[in-house]
Chains A and B, each alone.
Chain A
């Protein structure tokens, strides 16, 4: 087997194993909470008999391992159970919201990733000069603002001072693609501000690290222009560290944007999770937790695989 293929298969297998372990941790974590689902439904004043009956009805009296396996079996067949609060099918509730989450994350990523890498390259090219200082200053300022402050600032600026957008990002089923894009413009701007600095700094650092190497001096002595040196000789060797930070930020865009969703009343996964945590709706918390974990693991495995494939020593063994 080609060594690259072997490594890739290994990484994927490890990712799946990790996901299984995380599912057990999530299940145990929810199990360890005081009270159970029956208690959550019936409330503090429930009689012991009523609790017993409900537990028997929901199968909660079975041993934990059996319940874990049946939950896992359900997850694998696409059945995430029903929410306690409204008896809705969780898989169905999640699917539209997951779509919204991914749409917002993708829109932010499409702008933020190329922009961050470009700014990182420019900063590295003019290291110590004013473009470097300007880019670093601006991105560090935006990352230093808490998300809700940035969000309200953007709302104030773009709906009050310059009334261009709507302050609320309602995405309705019948909306067209452009309509949806317009609706999420403000949260996208805020998210780009938040994730830009991290990726930009990493690109800059990785490029500067590579710029120390002898082959970059060779490129300079070939009479290539500074941007050619950075683009052709430095960037291909800085892929691995840049990709891993990009993936971490993509993961953040999917699972970490609760505050932004709440501020803009954007109906997505994070808001759904927070709503159901307050209602003690444990099956939903479990299901969303697992999805978030899966996204994290998937993106990190993807980063590993890209780093493996980008390494010529692995791709072309001796």
Chain B
């Protein structure tokens, strides 16, 4: 370890937490982490949210978000302990020796400034190179990262380029001042699976060609397996396993790592076709004031007690279909049959039973609940509204619903802020179930959750379906989820259903080009998978 570029020795990071209704509490975020990165090597940091991945990543710049404090151990960069460095020394280190690529490039670029100005900012302000040199380097990095129009893309504003492109521009921004180390903090997590693969390949090539060292943070083991030399598995701020990528993927030692490697093991046999409860017929829709059809002649069915998965990348019309079915966006053509009747196109024309029998669960559980209401109030509201339940009858039903989502009656008095992400989503499921619906539309309900937590939610949804005979319209971009839960699949691309049928048929070859791209883009826990896919696929992603 003589030429370690960066090494953490017994790192300890703490913060003060302010739980609602309680006294501020001292929490240890990271404890006893000892790890090092060699020059030109990539270390992957992996774990679920709250594992301390980002906190460790930012500590390599001696930066703590909010009230986060680096309280113990050493952070040695180029032979110098940066934990004790003063503010001036840190400023000259940040943005020059160590740079950062954030998860959401869309939020991390200043919306008021041109891309080029931001990309070269540190190279110039730290005096690494002149403005002209920095611009030339930026353009060559844009080219290296396969950005379209590398000469002129810098003249654009952040909102004028796509998410996948912005993520690559941010990578160029990090590489521009020729740093020793780049921290990639979930750089592809917010992207579509088909875009992720291009960005991942571009990042990997750029790391390789510039010879920079990197910390690559992600919750997706299959992704990190493609870029990292070594992997550190973290849980609750502590080291679980630290080894070479090959070792972690192919022969994990710790039970937790083994669980991560084998995640998404739900086995769900598809059910036989049956008469539909919901039938979407020739639906075409556009948003007000536009002349572009977001949905084009969509036809899909779902049977009682079964699951129809709608898959596609962002902008494919998945969520718009949900809006058309719920009546939020009345279709311009076509009709929607539900439980034997034709639904009014507009929400205002629907009866209370129409509303009750068609419920929705959203991606962001925390913004889908009133933070000032208790769990009991949240679940109790549909009981009151649809069934007129009050008093003891309501309380018993709430308890029954809490049991169904595997949370105790004690949760009824808690507020959403006191729940974990998975628990919040469970409460949203209970709220939907309270209405005794025939169909629940699940819009990316597991996308914001950690893999193991998401698995739990999927299992719960399947159990509830078996018990209540409720149908699901399951919108997702994640094919692993689709395999786990669907009976039928509709693949959407640019507002059209390009492939539709029983799960096994849709997932069996021969494939159309788009479905092939979608299926082949899902990262697999296999070394060298990325290179293989880039060479063999038939088309490029639309969001590219």
State the A residues within 8 Å of B (CB).
213-215, 217-225, 228, 232-233, 236-237, 310, 312-313, 316, 318
Contact = CB atoms under 8 A, between A and B. Distances in A.
B63 A213 contact: no
B95 A233 contact: no
Given A214-B107, A215-B108, A217-B108, A223 B91 contact: yes
A221 B65 contact: no
B157 interface: yes
Contact of A313 (B61, B91, B121, B159): B159
Contacts of B113: 232-233, 236
Best-surrounded residue of B94, B99, B112, B156 (most CB of chain A within 10 A): B112
B109 interface: yes
Interface in B126-172: 126, 156-157, 159-160
A213 B107 contact: yes
Contact of B94 (A215, A223, A236, A313): A223
Contact of B111 (A220, A228, A237, A318): A237
A215 B107 CA distance: 6
Given A237-B111, A312-B111, A318-B160, A222 B122 contact: yes
A71 B118 CA distance: 56
B438 interface: no
Contact of B96 (A214, A218, A223): A223
17 contacts: A214-B102, A215-B109, A218-B102, A219-B110, A221-B95, A222-B99, A223-B90, A223-B91, A223-B92, A224-B91, A224-B125, A225-B91, A236-B112, A237-B112, A312-B111, A316-B160, A318-B160
Contacts of A218: 100, 102, 108-110
B104 interface: yes
A172 B9 CA distance: 78
B449 interface: no
Contact of A312 (B94, B121, B159): B159
Nearest to B110: A215
Given A223-B92, A223-B126, A313-B159, A214 B108 contact: yes
A206 B125 CA distance: 26
B480 interface: no
Contacts of A232: 113
A312 to B, nearest CB: 5
Contacts of A233: 110, 113
B93 interface: yes
Instruction: Decide if the interface of chain A is mainly helix, strand, loop or mixed.
Output: helix
A296 B216 CA distance: 55
B541 to A, nearest CB: 19
Interface in B292-313: none
Contacts, number: 74
A223 B93 contact: yes
Contact of B157 (A215, A217, A221, A312): A312
Contacts of B90: 223
Contacts of A214: 102, 104, 107-108
Contact of A215 (B93, B111, B122): B111
Interface residues of B, number: 30
Contacts of A310: 112
Contact of B65 (A217, A222, A236): A217
B94 A221 contact: yes
Give the 8 A-B CB pairs with smallest separation, nearest first.
A223-B94, A222-B95, A223-B95, A214-B107, A236-B112, A223-B91, A215-B110, A218-B108
A311 to B, nearest CB: 9
Nearest to B58: A221
Contacts of B96: 223
Nearest to B97: A223
B44 to A, nearest CB: 20
Contacts of B91: 223-225
A233 to B, nearest CB: 5
A236 B110 contact: yes
Nearest to B104: A214
Contacts of A312: 111-112, 157, 159
Contacts of A318: 159-160
Given A218-B110, A313-B111, 19 more contacts: A214-B108, A215-B107, A215-B109, A217-B65, A220-B63, A220-B94, A221-B61, A221-B63, A221-B99, A223-B94, A223-B95, A224-B95, A224-B122, A225-B91, A228-B125, A310-B112, A312-B157, A316-B159, A318-B160
B80 to A, nearest CB: 15
A217 to B, nearest CB: 7
Nearest to A234: B110
Interface string B43-87: 000000000000000100101010000000000000000000000
A220 B108 CA distance: 11
Contacts of B156: 316
B121 A222 contact: yes
Nearest to A215: B110
B102 to A, nearest CB: 6
A223 B61 CA distance: 10
Nearest to B156: A316
Contacts of B58: 221
A316 B111 CA distance: 11
A304 B91 CA distance: 38
A210 B226 CA distance: 36
B120 to A, nearest CB: 11
A81 B156 CA distance: 55
B117 to A, nearest CB: 9
B6 to A, nearest CB: 16
Contacts of A316: 156-157, 159-160
Nearest to B122: A222
Nearest to A318: B160
A214 B112 CA distance: 14
A215 B125 CA distance: 17
Nearest to B88: A225
B185 to A, nearest CB: 10
A287 B126 CA distance: 60
Nearest to A313: B159
A237 B108 CA distance: 13
A237 B61 CA distance: 26
A237 B159 CA distance: 14
A225 B91 CA distance: 7
A237 B95 contact: no
A218 B99 CA distance: 9
Contacts of B160: 316, 318
Best-surrounded residue of A213, A222, A224, A237 (most CB of chain B within 10 A): A222
A237 B157 CA distance: 13
A232 B125 CA distance: 12
Contacts of A222: 94-95, 99, 121-122, 125
B100 A221 contact: yes
Contacts of B126: 223
B166 to A, nearest CB: 12
A113 to B, nearest CB: 20
Best-surrounded residue of B63, B90, B121, B156 (most CB of chain A within 10 A): B121
Contacts of B110: 215, 218-219, 233, 236-237
